Amino acid sequence: MKRVSLQRRLVVALLLIAPLMWLLSAGVALSQTHEEINELYDSQLQLLAHQLLTSGRGQSSSPTSDGGDGDRDDNALAQAIWHRDGRMIWADGAGADWQPPPGEGGFFTRRSHHGEWRVYALRSADGERVVAVGQRISARNSAALKVVGSQFLAWLVPLPLLLLALVLAVRRGLAPLSRLAGDLARRRSDDLSPVSQSVPAEAQPLIDALNHLFARVEQNLEHERRFTADAAHELRSPLAALRVQAEVAQLAHDPAVMKHALDNLTIGIERATRLVDQLLALSRLDPLRGLSQAQPVNWTVLCNSALNELATLAARRGSTLQIEWRAPAEQVLPLTGDATLLSLLLRNLLENALRYSPAGATVNLVCDRTCIAVEDNGPGVAPEWLDKVRQRFVRLPGQHEPGSGLGLSIVERIAALHGLRLTLANRPQGGLSASLSMGTGTD
């Protein structure tokens, strides 16, 4: 799609609008001038009619004429006098062609072979005579054009200067945007400092949006750098342990020592694999701003699937996994979401409960109308650590169970994408409760 220059659009619009407005102004001026000239000439016609009526001209009984039939066609004025019976008793110029005016007189228009006339008629006080004084309308129009024409040149000369001034004003007004574009083009790719370019008030929202974007990008990059550093630190320990166990297995001559080393190697591989899986899950979840595919959630299927997947871990630890339905299945926490992500959320909560509860513990998956909760009867979490354990790579002190400290971060991110709130609380009877309910934020 071809991009149109804003400067070009503004310049073209102004170059079209300015002459049109100039022509409109000239038309308005011509109309007003014509109206004023008509008023002036009408006053003159009235004055001439009164003078003609009082001059005594046309007192004789026989008609007279000055100029005959059109001898004075070039004259813009004409006059005529009639007797009350309609007989013309005197005429001047084109007035000889006129017919007696109707009624008591006043202004009216007459047409003849001499053109169109604006005529004013006046009757004498005794009613014996009627005088009419007229002026050619073309003369009035010509006078109006002359008046406007005398000003036309004064209006026309500044027009190109006005258009040039408009073009320069547009360029000057848009110059800050050009400087801004140049400044951004010259920036290094790692320079996310706020834009301090001085721009017109109309462009300030753009600057504010750019600065807000730079701040978010800087925040995301800092988050990525911290995430990468933490991930490298967390991976270093299991990888170093794997190397040690592999060397022990290679150097061992005692089968028992070799078996122990290989068992530890297997556990280390599982731990590293789990850490990598969680890192990959977070790397996919962090950029998401919403759910691309959301469908009504079937909690029966999701809960049973999560329990089946963790049945082996529960059996190995001698723990019990169970579901407690506190509401009919179809009424449990109505939600539209991504079943795959919610399955990961449930697995992480249940796996945390199994791993950090003593052997033989009972882990309840509670399904209610307003929440989904995982409850255990383990040692719980110290109150000052309830918020900290949500943070990435944070693990409780003195914890011997292997882990990465990412499980709750993944749970919280998935919950946020679904508009759910994660609440961690110690149970009065012992153990920890991790519940998900509708809402935003964390408790």
> DSSP assignment of 102-146, as one string?
PTTEEEEEEEETTEEEEEEEEE-TTSSEEEEEEEEHHHHHHHHHH
Dihedral sign for Cα atoms in the order 75, 81, 82, 84: positive
- Supply the DSSP symbol for 47: H
Domain topology for 6-158:
Beta-Lactamase (3.30.450)
Task: State the amino acid at position 282 in one-letter form.
Answer: L
Give the pLDDT confidence score for residue 120 in this predicted structure: 92
Name every residue whose Cβ is closer than 8 Å to that of residue 133 and which is 6 or more positions away in sequence. Answer: 45, 48, 49, 52, 77, 78, 79, 119, 120
Domain topology for 295-438:
Heat Shock Protein 90 (3.30.565)
Q: What are phi and psi of 373, to 5 degrees?
A: -135, 150
**Could you tell me the residue ranges of all domains in the chain?**
6-158, 201-285, 295-438
Q: Residue 161 belongs to what H/E stretch?
A: helix 158-186
Give the pLDDT confidence score for residue 165 in this predicted structure: 82
**Beta strands 362-367 and 320-325, pairing class:** parallel
Closest CA to 369 of 337, 340, 327: 327
Model-wide pTM > 0.75: no
Per-residue pLDDT of the chain (443 residues; tens, 9 = 90+): 556 676 777 777 877 887 888 788 878 887 888 889 889 999 999 999 999 888 877 665 445 555 444 444 457 888 989 888 888 888 887 888 888 887 777 888 888 777 888 999 998 888 888 999 999 988 888 888 888 777 776 677 777 887 788 788 877 777 777 777 777 777 887 777 887 767 777 777 878 888 888 888 887 777 677 666 656 655 666 677 778 778 887 887 788 888 887 877 787 777 677 667 766 776 677 666 777 778 899 999 999 999 998 898 899 889 999 999 999 988 999 999 888 889 888 988 998 888 888 888 999 999 999 999 999 988 888 888 888 888 776 766 656 566 566 778 888 888 888 899 999 999 988 889 999 998 754 44
Rounded distance, CA 45 to CA 132, Å? 9
Task: State the amino acid at position 199 in one-letter form.
Answer: V
Q: How far is CA 206 from the centre of its chain?
A: 11
**Beta strands 88-92 and 64-66, pairing class:** parallel
Name every residue whose Cβ is closer than 8 Å to that of residue 26 and which is 6 or more positions away in sequence. Answer: 148, 152, 155
Give the pLDDT confidence score for residue 346 in this predicted structure: 92
Query: Which residues on neighbouring strands pair with residue 376, listed in sequence order?
Result: 363
Domain topology for 201-285:
Helix Hairpins (1.10.287)
